[in-house]
Amino acid sequence: MNRPASERHWVDWHGQYDVTGSSLSRRLAIVQRRIRQALDDQPPGEIRVLSMCAGQGRDILGALVDHERRDDVRARLVELDPDLAADAERSARSAGLDGVRVVVGDASDLGVYEGIAPAHIALVCGVFGNVSDADVRHTVEQLPRLCRPAATVIWTRHRRSPDLTPTVRSWFAATGFEEVGFDAPDGFRIGVGTHRLAGPTLPYRPGIRLFDFIGDGSGAHH
């Protein structure tokens, strides 16, 4: 039976990653580069990674496939759409990334990260452009509950007017994160932020909800 158009939307949306020169393909390349840098900075031993609204997992899976630390990574990819999650699962297994687990679940529920938090690397990509400004701020403020000291958070947000990214960066600073870099490539209205937790962590509390998804992802195409 065919899925309703409303459910097919996010599956079709991910096809933009395969369009050469698209905003999503450019964003993906930047995010993967930032992930590799974060992996390079990790001390010896296990590296815990969590990915919210992971989709097909292209960012973390693409960064891991040929990285020398790939076997040290224990990752949890959380995706609500079962078709996208199945794509991520197939890609992870095909690449031999045995430490990657794909979970069909609600990425806004802190409880879904039990066992992987506190993480060394947290990916919040494709989220902030699809939730309210208040939920963006709330999510940033709750990230120390999912992070260990010096953890790296990589996030994305479109820069269409009114551009919220300067404010998002200030929220990270106020929450105890130091900025590693902010990528805003010419010719695209995309932004990729990379921050490291320099302040204190917060206790993990699985009952907290981070956000409500209200967008359709269209901002990432511009």
Do 109 and 46 contact (CB within 8 A), yes or no? Answer: no
Give the pLDDT mean for 204-208: 97
Q: What is the DSSP letter of 96?
A: T
Closest CA to 219 of 136, 140, 139, 142: 136
Do 156 and 179 contact (CB within 8 A), yes or no? Answer: no
Give the pLDDT mean for 25-48: 97
- pLDDT computed for residue 17 by the predictor: 53
Using alpha carbons, list the distances in angstroms from residue 124 to 129, 150, 152, 155, 183: 11, 16, 11, 5, 15
Supply the DSSP string of 176-200, one letter for each residue. TEEEEEEE--TT--EEEEEEEE-S-
21 band by pLDDT with thresholds 50, 70 and 90? low
SS3 49: strand
Which uninterrupted H or E stretch holds 10? helix 5-13
Question: Which has more pLDDT, 144 or 7?
Answer: 144
Do 120 and 148 contact (CB within 8 A), yes or no? Answer: yes
- pLDDT computed for residue 86 by the predictor: 98
Question: Would you say residue 5 has pLDDT above 60?
Answer: no
- pLDDT computed for residue 218 by the predictor: 52
41-57 b/e (C-beta count within 10 Å ≥ 16 → b): ebeeeebbbbbbbbbbb
Name which of 165-174, 176-185, 212-221 the model is least confident about: 212-221
- pLDDT computed for residue 221 by the predictor: 41
pLDDT per position as a tens digit, 91-141: 999 999 999 999 999 999 999 999 999 999 999 999 999 999 999 999 999
Q: What residue ranges define each of the domains in the chain, with the CATH number in brackets?
A: 5-221 (3.40.50.150)
* Terminal-residue alpha carbon distance, the chain: 33
Q: Which long-range contacts (CB under 8 A, 24 or more apart) does 84-91 make?
A: 84/10, 84/11, 84/14, 84/54, 84/55, 84/56, 85/54, 87/56, 87/57, 88/54, 88/55, 88/56, 88/57, 88/61, 91/56, 91/57, 91/58, 91/61
Closest CA to 40 of 63, 74, 62: 63
